[in-house]
Amino acid sequence: MSDRVIIIGAGQGGVEVAISLRQRNFDGEIVIVGDEPHPPYQRPPLSKDFIKGGGREGSVVLREERFFSERNIELRLNRQAVAIDREAMAVRLDDGEVLSYGHLVLATGARNRKIRIPGLDHPDVMELRTLAHAHRLMERLPALRTVAVIGGGFIGLEVASLLRDHDVEVDIIEAADRLMGRVVSHITSDYFLRYHRETGVRIRLGASAESVEHGPSGCRVVLADGTTLEADAVLLAAGVVPNVELAADAGLAVNNGIVVDAELLTSDPAISALGDCAAYPSVHAGCVLRLESVQNAVDHGRLIAARLTGDRRPYESLPWFWSYQGQARLQIAGLSAPGDNPVLRGDPETGKFSVFLFREGRNTAVESINDPGTHMAARRLLGSGIGVSPDVAADPAVDLKSLLKR
Ligand SMILES: Cc1cc2nc3c(=O)[nH]c(=O)nc-3n(C[C@H](O)[C@H](O)[C@H](O)COP(=O)(O)OP(=O)(O)OC[C@H]3O[C@@H](n4cnc5c(N)ncnc54)[C@H](O)[C@@H]3O)c2cc1C
């Protein structure tokens, strides 16, 4: 078998596989194929500090290009993998080049979901997933007075804060009855609703955009109840869909993500998948799921590199995530589900508190707002399986760190 590892996708997870392989003294060939023109970069700052910091690409690079060449990691940027020949164990790129592999890693990430309403295919409708999108938003920012954001999830809310910092008026249109409804508790949703409204963001819950009309003076978003919102531009932030087409065309199992087992192997033992594009069995959730977070992509990458260098183990990392929305810094660890019981530690009125979630008395997750001390201790407790009881969680007098020492 060839000892060449080909990684499709030069994002957070794909790059981590390559770095970890070299750290583990893997001395075979490593090739990363990425369809974006830029050296590998981090996405989280794009909706946070990147624009505030002047949009310097250097501020978001994952590693300088020299880092890769020094470690003999070949980067093929601006190149797209278009087909996998599993029998020949080879990948075809968009320029016709064929690369054979001993092992293939699919790290193709996700792309923004395009909701099906008229008027979205227009230069005034922006999105934010890539560096190119961030540059476009930055270019337009000085002339923007009002933006309508479709989607009240993490990215829509982070961009709303960023726009408010530039005195842009913002309308958020969210179909669900609360913000970030898929992933956080009601207490956290309610806090962020108040927070954003206090900063001047106009938020419509239970509202859906039916169409976007374009005229000489900008856009008009028409909602299902007939309301119209005027804006200079629209930001579409209605979630993502995994990039699975390459895998599906090659006959790999796909179901809301490329289906992998507990070791992140696809239905073909010569192909792994990771990060935003992979649906894996989670020991924390007790079901198959797909997560969109840096932690998930990076830890997946490390696990695959470990397996390829002889250290096989199932994926069990505790999920964690962060989202910075203006002055409100949210950290989440673990995985909650609808119906989990929330227990509050601290007072939302102070802007600093945590919410512990419990299912049948077991701590499943913790959400912290401007409360990093509590969060780090709670995360370590969750990760080490010690957990806390609802009484302990609710009592700020109990030092959570002291529980770790027992
Ligand atoms: C604006 C923004 C803010 C975010 N903020 C946070 C945050 O605060 N905290 C957090 O934990 N997560 C955050 N995320 C999510 C996080 O960035 C992703 O979960 C993470 O990047 C996933 O890594 P990945 O390697 O799976 O995919 P990606 O990093 O998306 O990389 C996949 C790459 O593969 C490329 N690709 C796809 N198909 C092909 C092909 N056929 N050939 C070649 N290349 C291909 C894609 O173009 C892309 O460059 C944010 C994401 C965005 C967009």
Structure confidence at residue 8 as a pLDDT band (50, 70, 90): very high
Percent above pLDDT 90 for the chain? 94
User: Whats the size of the chain, residue-wise?
Assistant: 406
- Rounded to the nearest integer, the mean pLDDT of the chain is 96
Nearest CA to ligand 1 atom 21: 12
**Whether residue 68 has its Cβ less than 6 Å from ligand 1:** no
| pLDDT of 1 higher than 60 | no
Instruction: List the structure tokens of 76.
Output: 């093929």
- pLDDT at position 182 is 86
Q: Which atom of ligand 1 is nearest to the CA of 275?
A: 26
Instruction: List the structure tokens of 328.
Output: 């409100």
Instruction: Return d(Cα 219, Cα 232) in angstroms, integer.
Output: 6
Instruction: List the structure tokens of 131.
Output: 């560096």
Condensed to tens digits (0 to 9), the pLDDT of residues 142-151 reads 999 999 999 9
- Is the Cβ–Cβ distance between 244 and 277 less than 8 Å? yes
Q: Which atom of ligand 1 is nearest to the CA of 40?
A: 49
Instruction: Return d(Cα 5, Cα 8) in angstroms, integer.
Output: 10
- pLDDT at position 273 is 98
- Residue holding tokens 């309308």? 171
Largest CA distance in the chain: 67
Under DSSP, the state recorded for 61 is B
Instruction: Return d(Cα 42, Cα 56) in angstroms, integer.
Output: 12
| End-to-end Cα spacing for the chain | 49
Q: Which helix (H) or strand (E) holds 202?
A: strand 202-205
Q: Which helix (H) or strand (E) holds 197?
A: helix 186-198
Instruction: Enumerate domains of the chain plus CATH numbers.
Output: 5-111+241-308 (3.50.50.60), 125-238 (3.50.50.60), 336-404 (3.30.390.30)
**Whether residue 234 has its Cβ less than 6 Å from ligand 1:** no
Q: Are strands 233-236 and 146-150 parallel, antiparallel or unpaired?
A: parallel
- pLDDT at position 52 is 85
- pLDDT at position 2 is 61
- pLDDT at position 404 is 85
In 3D, which of 186, 267, 174, 178 has the Cα closest to residue 221?
Answer: 174
Tell me the average pLDDT across 204-228: 96
Measured in angstroms, how far is the CA atom of residue 394 from the centroid of ligand 1?
36
Instruction: List the structure tokens of 158.
Output: 């982070």
| pLDDT of 168 higher than 90 | yes
pTM as predicted: 0.97
> Coil, strand, or helix at residue 213?
strand
Query: Phi, psi (5° rounding) for residue 322?
Result: -140, 160
Measured in angstroms, how far is the CA atom of residue 320 from the centroid of ligand 1?
16
**Whether residue 346 has its Cβ less than 6 Å from ligand 1:** no
- Burial class of residue 176, CB neighbours in 10 A (0-12, 13-18, 19+): middle
Nearest CA to ligand 1 atom 33: 9
Condensed to tens digits (0 to 9), the pLDDT of residues 302-323 reads 999 999 999 999 999 999 999 9
Instruction: List the structure tokens of 38.
Output: 């830029």
**Whether residue 276 has its Cβ less than 6 Å from ligand 1:** yes
**Whether residue 13 has its Cβ less than 6 Å from ligand 1:** yes
